[in-house]
Amino acid sequence: SLMESQNEGQGKFMEFPFVTASHKKLMVDLVSTLENRFEKQLLPCKLPPDVQYYQNESGTAQASLQIRSGQSDSLVDFVLGSWIHCELPTGASLDITSLSAYLNLSTDAPNFLIEVIRSSPTMLVLILDLPPRKDLALWPDDLKTFYEDTQIDTQRQALEKIPEIQPYFSSSLYIRTVSSPTAIMVRIETEAGGGERVEEIIAKHLDPISKQVLGIWLDHCACAKRDVGEIERALLKKRDGIVRKKTLEVDLDSSFPRLFGTQVANRVLEAIKEYFDV
């Protein structure tokens, strides 16, 4: 039945079947923390089964997607979780796991985003941020409220001290533009050989730091009572719309058809776009 297929999809998402133990623990804990905090504010995932789990023709690329909308009285627009696994022609594989939470137009507080990209056992990229939804240069009080008073930059500073961790610059200037001044964008590269040190860095550093950042978002952004006037709301709607459209383009438009074939890619992109329309 459809219900069973949907439950399978849900199970599949939380399995994170291709990533390492510490990487899976990090993701499962973050998703659970977020879902537990919002409890009944989040509706079940209504994506069709072939969007909740999909693969390319040859089965070398597999992926899972879960989107849960917020109830009408919630500040959450929707929460999106996903993983992608691709076997590369080199014999290595690429694993991307992500969790993002988008707030709706009742609040102008920042969103939440984590993306973990593992392109080899010795290489990992982490993007962890509370992307702002306003021009912070124009609104220094919001910068203070969400980024200075929460001391969120101490999390980035802690990572900076680890010798294998280097700042990461996205090749997309738009992705850099929409990130906050405290965005954690780092590349972890260890000596060739086993990935034990990467595992250790995930468990000892990335895991607690990503939970701290999610905690700051849950405590100070996702529940913040904000006064959004009519004019501000219209601008917020316009900005949210442009940012969602552009980031989707940058993230998916070029790589998705290549990885999954045009037909599957279109099916999934169409489903996502319904949620991304503000």
Applying CB under 8 A, the residues found at the interface with a copy of itself are 135-138, 140, 143, 147-148, 153, 156, 160, 167, 169, 173-174, 176-178, 181-182, 238-239, 242-243, 246
Cβ 247 to a copy of itself shortest distance, Å: 10
Nearer to a copy of itself, 150 or 210 (CB): 150
Q: What contacts 55, CB < 8 A, 6 or more positions away?
A: 61, 62, 63, 260, 264
Nearer to a copy of itself, 3 or 138 (CB): 138
Single-letter amino acid code for the residue at 240: D
What single string gives the DSSP state of each residue in 172-210?
-HHHHHTS-TT-EEEEEE--SS-SHHHHHHIIIIIHHHH
What are the helix and strand counts (H, E) for the chain? 11, 8
Cβ 21 to a copy of itself shortest distance, Å: 31
Cβ 131 to a copy of itself shortest distance, Å: 9
Q: What angle do CA 199, 117, 240 make, to 5 degrees?
A: 135
Cβ 31 to a copy of itself shortest distance, Å: 27
Nearer to a copy of itself, 50 or 153 (CB): 153
Cβ 240 to a copy of itself shortest distance, Å: 10
161: left (phi over 0), alpha (psi -120 to 50) or beta: alpha
Lookup result for tokens 């392109």: 119
Cα separation of 10 and 65, whole Å?
A: 9
Nearer to a copy of itself, 66 or 155 (CB): 155
With contact defined as beta carbons under 8 Å apart, do 108 and 228 qualify?
A: yes
Nearer to a copy of itself, 34 or 159 (CB): 159
